[in-house]
Amino acid sequence: MTDHYLTLKQVSVRRHQSLLLSGIDLRVSKNEFVGVIGPNGAGKTTLLNVIAGFEKFSGALSLFGEAQTWRRPRQTRLRVGYVPQLLQIDPGFPILARQAVMTGAVGRLGLFRKPGKQEYENTLRLMDMMRVAHLADRPLGQLSGGERQKVSLARAIVQKPDLLLLDEPTANLDIAVQKEVLKLIDEISEREALTILFVTHDFNMLPERMRRAVMLKGGLKVFDGKISAALTGNELSRVFEYPLETFERNGKRFICYG
Amino acid sequence: MVESILQTLSYAPIQRALAACILCGASCALLSVFVVLMKMPLIGVSMSHAAFAGAVLGMLLDINPFVSGFILCLLTAAVLGPLSDRADMAPENLLGILFSFLMGVAFLGMGILTQTKAGALNLMWGSLLTLSNNDLYVLALVTLVLTVFIVLFFKEIRVVLFSRRLAASSGVPERVIYYILLFMTGAVVSSNLATVGGLLIFALLVQPGAVALQLTYNLKSFFLISAATGILACFLGLVASYVFDIPSGASVVLAATVLFALAFVFSPKRRVVRPIERKIQDENDRR
């Protein structure tokens, strides 16, 4: 069992009268790159929130071989990085981009310890890797959506997590920036040896290193398998309840809708 | 002229009022950084009403108004904390209900208060010139504790202000920080009932932070500018109150508003950076 980084057994989330997630079973091994795909309201973000420890749930969840509830020890939280959909911030908020990245290291440092040379170097290295080193001294609120998303990725990695949760990291970005962020995520996956869960509703915008897809619909898991098996007209049409077709050109698969 | 100022300053009540000005301005202004950056002015307003209602109840039940105000603040914090943590409720509505309820309690208390109402009215808009030494000691202690809290946990505070959720996700004890903050809000508000009062304190819980927000992107300077603004507003208010013989609470609030208006007009942040300037700036940064 210990080779499973993340195990969910019959995990459900109920809010008011509705069931947001219903009896989800999921096992993710070390270094897997899993896409969580589904339409709006499928429960993707709720699933991510359960794994991140933001949401109460029923059922059993274990992380790194240990059973967890939504309240969890600091040591476990340190091992789970989280990138929200959009880093919401006021334009005037008093934080610079590099300080925002550094916030990822604060939990690991612990109380009463100041960030040292290592943390500063790490911050700049990751900002460089995310191509935002030149924005280090710019107020975060002044950066564009794409730049903020790259800062957000660097912030999550500076925490040195083993499991990285990405909640629609490319939503609201224009197409060129989406591609750039996906490439950076591929780069992260390659260089940092991480287990990644990537939530998205956009099946046309997936990182190349994603091998496995879990599809949700109405709070239920309706598909779990290879990404190539998920991205077929039949499967996608069933999950998204919309006629979709796939075709290949130059070895690449395209999905089109009528 | 100088002689008359020196003579005025030699009076103990004036000295106490000056000391209270600095402490009141500093404590409220430090707190206002959180109120402004975490967008919780309604929490501030609820807490100040709780302190006021508690103090009036204290007068009714013959308890020290600071103590009863503080207790009601803590109770309010105990209700507010978990409520604001719940994702499925809009806290604004509940806060609205809570603070009007507390106001109702306060006025009910004032209505059935048999003794003279002047004491209760002082709790509403404060009275810098009738402070006791004890008022001052409590205020000094609360200001000191708040300052130590901010200095010791500065890096954690930065994360929590930035995003409570991201703080939680990176292993920062954000709930502890948040609850200490609510607790400190209660302490600051109730210890300042005697200085600016339960109604007008709200201005000092928002305006100094709002001034700093116009002027800096640096969190340390943010705290310092906010504190300086709070102290200056209190000082100017006190002087105006003495010179023009007007209620000190009101003049303090008006001074704070004038400072905010000045910061707003002269804010460097509001200067529009044209795209071409931004491009040049970016290229310089890259080099």
Cross-chain residue pair B169–A54, CB shorter than 8 Å: yes
Mean pLDDT confidence for A22-35: 93
Confidence label for A202 from pLDDT (cuts 50, 70 and 90): confident
A8, B131, B186, B205, B274 from B52: Cα distances, Å = 49, 17, 11, 15, 48
Residue B63 structure tokens? 């308890």
Question: 3-class DSSP state for residue B212?
Answer: helix
φ/ψ bin of A133: left (φ > 0), alpha (ψ from -120 to 50), beta (otherwise): alpha
CB A212, CB A223: distance < 8 Å: no
Mean pLDDT confidence for A27-36: 93
pLDDT score at B166: 93
A183, A189, B32, B57, B197 from B193: Cα distances, Å = 57, 56, 16, 14, 4
**What pLDDT tens digit does each residue of chain B (287 aa) get?**
678 777 877 888 888 888 998 999 999 999 999 999 998 888 888 888 898 899 889 888 888 888 899 999 889 888 887 877 765 566 777 788 888 898 898 888 888 887 777 777 777 777 777 888 888 999 999 999 999 999 999 999 999 999 999 999 999 999 999 999 988 998 999 898 888 887 788 889 999 999 999 999 999 999 999 999 999 999 998 888 888 888 877 888 899 999 999 999 988 887 665 555 566 665 665 55
A233, containing H or E segment: helix A233-240
CB A99, CB A115: distance < 8 Å: no
Report pLDDT digits (tens) over A210-225. 999 999 999 999 999 9
Residues of B with CB under 8 A from a CB of A: 37, 87-88, 152-153, 155-156, 158-159, 162-163, 165-173, 212-214, 216-219, 221-222, 269, 282, 285-286
Nearest-neighbour CA in chain B from A115: distance (Å): 9
What's the CA angle centered on B137, arms B131 and B138, to 5 degrees? 90
| Helix and strand counts by DSSP (H, E) for chain B | 14, 0
Q: Which residue of A has its CA nearest to B164?
A: A54
Report the C-alpha gap between B285 and A227 in whole angstroms: 41
List, in sequence order, every residue forming a beta bridge with A214; answer none if it has no partner.
A36, A224
- Return phi, psi of residue B103, to 5°: -65, -40
pLDDT score at B243: 87
Report the C-alpha gap between A124 and A158 in whole angstroms: 10
Report the C-alpha gap between A101 and A123 in whole angstroms: 6
Residue B82 structure tokens? 């978990």
CATH class of B15-114+121-270: mainly alpha
Interface probe, candidates A95, A147, A151, chain B, greatest B C-beta count within 10 A:
A95
Residue A166 structure tokens? 């990405």
A258, B48, B81 from B180: Cα distances, Å = 56, 17, 10
Which residue of B152, B153, B217 is in closest CB contact with A94? B217
Question: Which residues does chain A have within 8 Å of residue B162's beta carbon, measured at their own beta carbons?
Answer: 89, 93, 95, 100, 103
Report the C-alpha gap between B150 and B227 in whole angstroms: 12
Question: 3-class DSSP state for residue A164?
Answer: strand
Cross-chain residue pair B169–A94, CB shorter than 8 Å: no
Q: Report the Cα–Cα distance between both ends of chain B, in Å, rounded.
A: 58
Report the C-alpha gap between B233 and B267 in whole angstroms: 18
A128, A186, A216, A218 from A23: Cα distances, Å = 42, 31, 12, 12
Which residue of B167, B171, B219 is in closest CB contact with A95? B219
CB A87, CB A170: distance < 8 Å: no
Cross-chain residue pair A92–B214, CB shorter than 8 Å: yes
Residue A246 has pLDDT above 50, yes or no: yes
Domains and CATH numbers, chain A: 4-79+162-257 (3.40.50.300), 89-160 (no CATH)
CB A5, CB A29: distance < 8 Å: yes
B106, B128, B178, B190 from B184: Cα distances, Å = 22, 22, 10, 10
| Sheet of A220-226, strand order | A80-83, A163-167, A195-200, A33-37, A212-217, A220-226
Cross-chain residue pair A95–B170, CB shorter than 8 Å: no
Residue B273 structure tokens? 């950076």
Domain ranges of chain B: 15-114+121-270
Mean pLDDT confidence for A79-108: 92
A63, B5, B81 from B174: Cα distances, Å = 21, 48, 12
Interface probe, candidates A106, A112, A123, chain B, greatest B C-beta count within 10 A:
A106
Please, what is the average pLDDT of chain A? 90
The total of other beta-carbon atoms located within 10 Å of residue B201's CB is 31
Nearest-neighbour CA in chain B from A123: distance (Å): 15
Q: Which residue of B has its CA nearest to A75?
A: B171
Nearest-neighbour CA in chain A from B170: distance (Å): 5
- Scanning the structure block, which residue is given the tokens 């010179």? B243
CA B243, chain centre distance (Å): 25
Which residue of A52, A112, A135 is in closest CB contact with B169? A52
φ/ψ bin of A111: left (φ > 0), alpha (ψ from -120 to 50), beta (otherwise): beta
B216, B251, B280 from A91: Cα distances, Å = 12, 32, 20
Residue B65 structure tokens? 């108004």
Size of interface A-B (CB pairs under 8 A): 98
Q: Which residue of A has its CA nearest to B155?
A: A106
Nearest-neighbour CA in chain B from A251: distance (Å): 38
Question: Which residues does chain B have within 8 Å of residue A52's beta carbon, measured at their own beta carbons?
Answer: 169
pLDDT score at A1: 45
Q: Which residue of B has its CA nearest to A141?
A: B217
Q: Report the Cα–Cα distance between both ends of chain A, in Å, rounded.
A: 44
Report pLDDT digits (tens) over B57-82. 988 888 888 889 999 988 988 888 78
DSSP B268: G
Report the C-alpha gap between B266 and B259 in whole angstroms: 11
pLDDT score at B15: 87
Task: Say whether residue A43 is in contact with chain B using an 8 A CB cutoff.
Answer: no
Question: Which residues does chain B have within 8 Å of residue A75's beta carbon, measured at their own beta carbons?
Answer: 171
pLDDT score at B82: 80
pLDDT score at B273: 57
Question: Which residues does chain B have within 8 Å of residue A46's beta carbon, measured at their own beta carbons?
Answer: none
Question: 3-class DSSP state for residue A235?
Answer: helix
Report the C-alpha gap between B57 and B108 in whole angstroms: 9
Cross-chain residue pair B162–A138, CB shorter than 8 Å: no
